[in-house]
Structure 1
Amino acid sequence: MTANAAAIPDWNHDGLLPPIQPGAPGNALNRSPYIADLAGIIDRFGTSPERIAILGGLLRFRSGLHAAGITSGFQWLDGSFMENVEVLENRPPHDMDVVNFIDLSGLDQQALGKSHSALFDPTKVKQDYAVDAYFVQIGGMFDEAAIRRVSYWYSMWSHRRDGRWKGFLQVSLDPGQDVVARTVLNSLGGRQHD
């Protein structure tokens, strides 16, 4: 287990990541979204062939973002993948939900949309990478609309459909994390992604 995998809290008795680190006071900063490194996430959640395949898809999706020049920002990771869905619903996860908070400063956004349109096509991304991808642009004005977008995702992801509170993870888009993460994934039996 990598050191950062240990920083991700265990699932609680409901099979969910807790919204606040167990035992921490309500005003503690150690809360959802839990900041983790990519290798730690793979080490912690790469527990079955289905999960390993989804993590491989996440790495390929990130590789596409990096190839497009999108290397600044972070991702929120959630969905049934971050839950003990094998016990909760007696099934493996089918995909991972990812909100990409991306800084496009210095990038030609029109050219990016044309040359890498498949990365922004939700159907294609889900089919090719097993990722439900959503995007929020950061690095610009922090206005009411930006606050509403972040609030939307936080409120959507801090509860299950049945109303139970849950936590989720945050990982940097820094490509440097992906090299170590690929090594961890390959050691778990994932196909080679080099």
Structure 2
Amino acid sequence: MAGVIPPIKPGTDPAGPDRSPYKVPMNNFVDRFCLSSERSVILKGLLDLRAGLHSIGVVQGFQWIDGSFLEHIEDTDGRPPNDVDVVTFAFLPTGQTQASFLPFLQPYLDRTAVKATFKVDHFVKILPNIGVRDVCYWHSLWSHRRDGLWKGYAEIDLAPTDDADAAAILSAKTGAGFK
């Protein structure tokens, strides 16, 4: 009703496990949120960002996805989303240390460049070197809109398992055009 994903699945136990972040396969995420040409450009950027991470061996972990992209911002604010907000929680490739891997990861750490190239406001957190307070920060930040309204967000596995299907869905929807 408020244009957001509910923080707790409606009709379930409010103290139960059916709550944000909601685990969603990438192909389902693309299918659900590819609603306009503006959104398709953002989704293409997200898939390209993931492909870049995969190409350097970052394939284990997950991504929390949020921002106005997950809202009906077109209805509530009369505008399309500008980007998608993503925190990548990743394990480094086997045998790599954070120091040795930093040169490979650096292009994906520059928020300004990543946002300009991919339309993704991107943050990277290396697992397992993340503290409870850091997780609490992201969860509390993304569990509310700026006006204080509670909302939910998505979690997508970092593995490239569904990315080819997601790209095919995106291509089909983009090729069909939008109303």
Indicate whether the TM-score tops 0.5: yes
Return the alpha-carbon distance in structure 1 between the equivalents of residues 3 and 61 of structure 2: 29
Q: Which residue of 1 aligns with 2:54?
A: 66
Q: Which runs of 5+ in 1 are unaligned?
A: 1-12
Return the alpha-carbon distance in structure 2 between the equivalents of residues 87 and 163 of structure 1: 18
Q: Which residue of 1 aligns with 2:108?
A: 119
Deviations 1:134-171 (A, max 9, x none): 1121134xxxx610000000000000010000000000
Identical residues among aligned pairs (%): 42
TM-superposed deviation, 1:131: 0.2
Aligned residues: 174
Q: Which residue of 1 aligns with 2:161?
A: 176
CA, structure 1 residues 103+115, in 2 after alignment: closer, same or farther (shift >3 Å)?
closer
1:164 and 2:149 are equivalent in the alignment: yes
Q: Which runs of 5+ in 2 are unaligned?
A: none
TM-superposed deviation, 1:96: 0.2
Return the alpha-carbon distance in structure 1 between the equivalents of residues 142 and 108 of structure 2: 22
1:23 and 2:11 are equivalent in the alignment: yes
Q: Which residue of 2 aligns with 1:89?
A: 77
Return the alpha-carbon distance in structure 2 between the equivalents of residues 30 and 134 of structure 1: 26
1:38 is matched with which residue: 26, 36, 42?
Answer: 26
Let me know the Cα RMSD of the aligned residues. 1.3
TM-score when normalising by structure 2: 0.93
SS in structure 2 of the partner of residue 98 of structure 1 = strand
2:127 is matched with which residue: 94, 118, 138?
Answer: 138
Between 23-32 and 111-120, the greater mean CA deviation after superposition: 111-120
